[in-house]
């Protein structure tokens, strides 16, 4: 069904982080951007569709005008809003937003660290970081924090006047991933889902004030990657299972014993309903989802496996909305492996 294409070499290897690959397709310029996180650096590659031109860029996580501060990056993701596209990078220190080509940083938000007691080099026992990035509706970008909070940023259609609009406090454990659907004009009942280290899922309706529509409890097992499609939450867990829930009601539609190890990445191609799952067991699997909103039923069919030998996969994404091609990254691997439909 898929065959392997020529890989894209990147400057550094990928770190073992959830959802460690982000892809942005720029049709007018016949380019695709890829980002992969390596420790405290984001490697960006711009690949032309004819496969002839590749250009590279590296971004570090640091506060503006502070030369010595770099910190480990947890995630980098493209956020597509109707009016603009931004690259959001989250780290131990804070959240940065760049223009999608990585050329200019438009916003920096420092994370609150807990009040430090008298000791000079105090390090809190609980790790502090931001993780989980998603654009939602017309003008919001949501970012999760290790405390369980979700920061909602209001993004104007241009310029750097980005403001923190709301902080959603519902999760008690570190946020792992956030996903949305219906970005732009299309209206949905639920348009945002957030997941945490306890496997708990929160379903939201975005707006000037975000509304919590539903909470789906976890089983003390981390949900590392989550997607929302046609009102269905697709969640991947540390046990290797994928579960499909009806977002608004929390009804379990299907459960797949998908992988033998921790799932690190899920992606959905919205126009075709293809689902991609990747885990530490070296396997990437392609599935087909059928969601019938009239009968409220969901079906999952397995289509294809790819094995990346001796590699714990940490990122997998479709390169287009139909799922014609997908890309994969693995821990310690300095390349982005690509597959295309035959």
Partner 1 sequence: MSARTLPLVFVNLGGEMLYILDQRLRAPIASEDTSDKGVWSERDRRRVLNDVTATLFGPSFVDELLKPQQLYSHRTLKTVLTRLAHASIMRLNPASMDRLYELTTMAVKHQVLLCPRPKDLLLVSYNHIDAVRDFVRDSPAVLNQVDQAHRRIIEVYSSMSEGELQLLRQTLLVFFQDMHVRVSLFLKSKIQNPGNGRFALPTSGPVPHGTEVPGLIRTFDRRGREVRRSEFPPGGSYSRPAGGGSFGLHGARGTLLGTNTYAANRPEETLASRASAQTGDAPNPLAKEELNLLARLMGSMGAQDGAGAEGAFRISMFSPDDEEQEAGTSKEAEAFEVISIQATQVGCRWSSHLLSITRTKQNALMLKAAFVPQPVPSLFCILHRQRDMLVFCSAQDEHVASELAQIAGQFSGAEEQAENPCGNKGDDLLAMMDDL
**Applying CB under 8 A, which residues contact partner 1?**
12-13, 15-17, 38-39, 68, 72, 74, 92, 121, 123-127, 129, 173-174, 176, 196-198, 220-222, 238-241, 251-262, 281-283, 285, 296-302, 305, 307, 309-312, 331-332
Per the CB < 8 A criterion, the answer to whether 180 and 228 are in contact is: yes
Phi/psi for 169 (5° steps) reads -115, 90
* C-beta of 13 vs 341, nearer to partner 1: 13
Q: Report how far residue 196's alpha carbon sits from residue 173's, in angstroms, rounded to the nearest whole number.
A: 6
Q: What is the 3-state secondary structure (H, E, C) of 292-316?
A: ECCCCEEEEEEEEEEECCCCCEEEE
Q: What is the nearest approach in angstroms of partner 1 to the Cβ of residue 138? A: 32
* C-beta of 287 vs 318, nearer to partner 1: 287
* C-beta of 127 vs 164, nearer to partner 1: 127
If DSSP codes are grouped into helix, strand and coil, which group holds residue 280? coil
> 185-213 as b/e, with b when 16 or more CB fall inside 10 Å?
eeebebbbbbbbbbbbbbbbbbeeebeeb
> 47-66 as b/e, with b when 16 or more CB fall inside 10 Å?
beeeeeeeeeeebebbeeee
DSSP classification of residue 29: G
Q: What is the nearest approach in angstroms of partner 1 to the Cβ of residue 73? A: 10
Q: What is the nearest approach in angstroms of partner 1 to the Cβ of residue 125? A: 4
Q: What is the nearest approach in angstroms of partner 1 to the Cβ of residue 308? A: 9
Q: What is the nearest approach in angstroms of partner 1 to the Cβ of residue 199? A: 9
Q: What is the nearest approach in angstroms of partner 1 to the Cβ of residue 334? A: 8
* C-beta of 143 vs 162, nearer to partner 1: 143
* C-beta of 46 vs 75, nearer to partner 1: 75
* C-beta of 110 vs 125, nearer to partner 1: 125
Phi/psi for 161 (5° steps) reads -85, 60
User: Beta strand 283-292 with 297-307: parallel, antiparallel or unpaired?
Assistant: antiparallel
Q: What is the nearest approach in angstroms of partner 1 to the Cβ of residue 198? A: 7
* Helix, strand, coil percentages for the chain (3-state, nearest 5): 0, 55, 45
* C-beta of 164 vs 251, nearer to partner 1: 251
Q: What angle do CA 18, 134, 206 make, to 5 degrees?
A: 140
Phi/psi for 28 (5° steps) reads -55, -30
């Amino acid at each position: 069904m898929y065959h392997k294409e020529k890989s894209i070499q990147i400057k550094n290897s990928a770190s073992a982080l959830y959802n460690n690959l982000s892809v942005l397709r720029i049709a007018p310029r016949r380019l695709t951007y890829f980002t992969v996180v390596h420790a405290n650096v984001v490697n960006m590659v711009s690949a032309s569709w004819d496969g002839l031109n590749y250009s590279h860029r590296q971004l570090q996580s640091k506060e503006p005008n502070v030369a010595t501060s770099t910190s480990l990056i947890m995630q980098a993701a493209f956020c597509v809003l109707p009016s603009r596209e931004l690259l959001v990078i989250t780290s131990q220190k804070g959240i940065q937003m760049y223009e999608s080509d990585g050329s200019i940083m438009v916003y920096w938000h420092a994370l609150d660290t807990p009040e430090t007691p008298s000791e000079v080099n105090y390090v809190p026992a609980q790790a502090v970081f931001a993780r989980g990035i998603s654009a939602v509706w017309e003008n919001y970008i949501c970012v999760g924090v290790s405390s369980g909070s979700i920061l909602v940023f209001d993004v104007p259609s241009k310029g750097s006047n980005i403001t923190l609009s709301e902080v959603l406090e519902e999760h008690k454990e570190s946020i792992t991933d956030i996903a949305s659907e219906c970005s732009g004009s299309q209206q949905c009942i639920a348009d945002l889902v957030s997941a945490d280290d306890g496997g708990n899922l929160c379903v939201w309706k975005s707006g000037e004030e975000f509304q919590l529509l539903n909470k789906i409890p976890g089983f003390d097992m981390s949900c590392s990657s989550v997607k929302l499609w046609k009102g269905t939450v697709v969640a991947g867990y540390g046990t290797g299972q994928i579960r499909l829930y009806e977002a608004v009601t929390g009804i379990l539609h299907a459960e797949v014993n998908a992988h033998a190890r921790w799932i690190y990445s899920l992606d959905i191609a919205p126009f075709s309903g293809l689902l991609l799952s990747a885990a530490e067991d070296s396997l990437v699997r392609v599935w087909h989802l059928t969601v019938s909103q009239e009968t409220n039923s969901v079906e999952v069919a397995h289509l294809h496996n790819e094995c990346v030998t001796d590699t714990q996969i940490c990122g997998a994404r479709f390169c287009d909305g139909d799922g014609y091609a997908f890309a994969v990254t693995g821990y310690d691997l300095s390349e982005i492996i690509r597959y295309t439909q035959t």
